[in-house]
């Protein structure tokens, strides 16, 4: 496991995901990807499900990756990476590897559409078969690549192009699917949540290093604030991510062996959820008098979930 102590040392790592990609200015995807691929010194094989990251980092004839990279469909990023892993295992048994002394690690990236909805069957299957890989979900809570449709990750009351706000509708009517807990229920050796921010950079880097080092299927759910669809200014990306953690809308925790839950960051003062919602244009309609009940519902859900996490950590089950 790579020793990650402080940022000054970590910044000496040569970048393996380079700039010049065509992600939006201020996109959090590339912050997460850079930290994850820099969190190990081993060779990497990466597969990326269709989504913003895949489309923007591989516009013909350019590529932004300094590592081996497979472009694969929306639904089978996990299937492709488990196939690559199985091939490596088979070739190393037969002693047919090109450079057998090098260690190779496998990472898959998917957006929330490719993980929560479309790619869930292949992810669930790959985890169940127990391949040795890390799956990183870049959760921006909508299908940002195709113009911001709702996904099963979109939270309550959010405005998207398929759940528009107006006189009749108040936006998304369902609550967010709790994928991290679903992955933990598969019995993954390591499952964690993370955010891209300067305050929690070490949290993400250490979790990624730990997940890559763990033998067996591992999963990281990383919140990725989307400037275009969440409707905030590009420079506020890290602030919004920080607020999601400070209000406990997206708590940081890790689960080992599907059971042992540990909260990795506790906010000193838990901020009211309005702080997080009011910064984003997609929730601006919730502050009208007729929609106040949605904010109360949000607060209730967040409190209940935070309470549930704390009780689970205490009980150690």
Partner 1 sequence: MATPKEMLTTWDKVQFAAILPAFEDLEHKKRSKFHSYNYSVADWRVEKPVFNRELCIDCDFCWVSCPDSCFMVEEVVNKRGKKQAKIVGINYNLCKGCGVCVDVCPTPIKSLLMFPEYVDTEEALKQWPKKD
Which residues here bind partner 1, judged by CB under 8 A? 7-12, 15-23, 25-31, 34-35, 43, 45, 57, 59, 61-68, 87-88, 91, 96-99, 102, 104, 196-198, 201, 227, 233-239
**CA-CA distance, 18 to 274, in Å (whole number)?**
36
Q: How near is the Cβ of 81 to partner 1 at its closest, in Å?
A: 15
**Helical H runs in 133-200?**
179-185
CA 181 – CA 197 distance, rounded (Å) = 23
Please state the closest distance from residue 237 (CB atom) to partner 1, in A: 6
Count CA atoms closer than 13 A to 259's CA, side-chain side.
4
Min CB(65)–partner 1 separation in Å: 8
- 237-246 and 28-38 helices cross at what angle (nearest 10)? 80
- Token pair 């509708």 is found at 169
The least distance separating partner 1 from the CB of residue 226, rounded to whole angstroms, comes to 12
- Residue closer to partner 1 by CB (options 163, 238) is 238
Q: Distance between CA 104 and CA 279 in Å, rounded? A: 42
- Phi first, then psi: what are they for 159, rounded to 5°? -85, 125
The nearer residue to partner 1, 15 or 307, going by C-beta atoms, is 15
Q: Give the shortest CB-300-to-partner 1 separation in angstroms.
A: 32
Helices 77-93 and 120-129, axial angle in degrees (round to 10): 30
Q: Pick the closer one to partner 1 by CB: 199 or 311.
A: 199
Q: With H, G, I as helix, E, B as strand and everything else as coil, classify residue 78.
A: helix
Which residue's CB is nearer to partner 1, number 10 or number 265?
10
Smallest Cα–Cα separation from 76: which of 135, 21, 12, 6?
135
Specify whether the CB–CB gap between 262 and 252 falls below 8 A: no
Question: By CB neighbour count within 10 A (0-12 exposed, 13-18 middle, 19+ buried), where does 172 fall?
Answer: buried
Provide, rounded to whole angstroms, the least separation between the CB of residue 235 and partner 1. 3
- Both tokens of 232, joined, read 């905030």
Q: Between 20 and 289, name the residue whose CB sits nearer to partner 1.
A: 20
Q: How far is the CB of 9 from partner 1 (least distance, A)?
A: 6
Q: Which is nearer to partner 1, 91 or 185 (CB)?
A: 91
> In terms of CB distance, is 46 or 249 closer to partner 1?
46
């Amino acid at each position: 496991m790579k020793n990650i102590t402080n940022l000054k040392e970590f910044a000496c790592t040569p970048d393996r995901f380079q700039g010049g990609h065509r992600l939006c200015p201020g996109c959090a995807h590339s912050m997460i990807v850079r930290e994850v691929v820099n969190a190990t010194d081993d060779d990497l094989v990466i597969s990326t499900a269709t989504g913003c990251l895949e489309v923007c980092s591989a516009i013909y004839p350019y590529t932004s990756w300094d590592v081996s990279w497979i472009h694969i469909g929306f639904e089978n990023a996990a299937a492709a990476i488990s196939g690559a892993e199985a091939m490596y295992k088979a070739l190393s048994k037969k002693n047919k590897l090109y450079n057998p002394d090098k260690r190779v690690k496998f990472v898959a990236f998917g957006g929330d559409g490719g993980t929560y909805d479309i790619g869930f069957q292949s992810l669930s299957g790959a985890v169940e078969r127990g391949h040795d890989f890390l799956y990183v979900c870049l959760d921006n809570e909508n299908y940002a690549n195709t113009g911001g449709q709702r996904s099963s990750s979109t939270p309550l009351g959010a405005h998207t192009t398929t759940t528009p706000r107006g006189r009749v509708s108040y936006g998304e009517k369902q609550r967010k699917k709790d994928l991290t807990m679903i992955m933990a229920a598969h019995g993954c050796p390591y499952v964690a949540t993370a955010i891209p921010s300067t305050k929690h950079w070490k949290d993400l880097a250490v979790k990624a290093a730990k997940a890559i080092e763990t033998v067996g299927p591992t999963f990281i759910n990383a919140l990725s604030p989307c400037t275009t669809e969440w409707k905030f200014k590009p420079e506020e990306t890290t602030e919004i991510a920080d607020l999601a953690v400070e209000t406990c809308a997206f708590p940081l925790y890790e689960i080992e062996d599907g059971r042992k839950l540990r909260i990795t960051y506790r906010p000193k003062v838990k901020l009211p959820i309005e702080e997080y919602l009011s910064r984003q244009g997609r929730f601006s309609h919730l502050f009208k008098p007729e929609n106040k009940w949605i904010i109360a519902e949000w607060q209730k859900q967040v409190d209940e979930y935070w309470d549930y996490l704390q009780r689970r950590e205490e009980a150690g089950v």
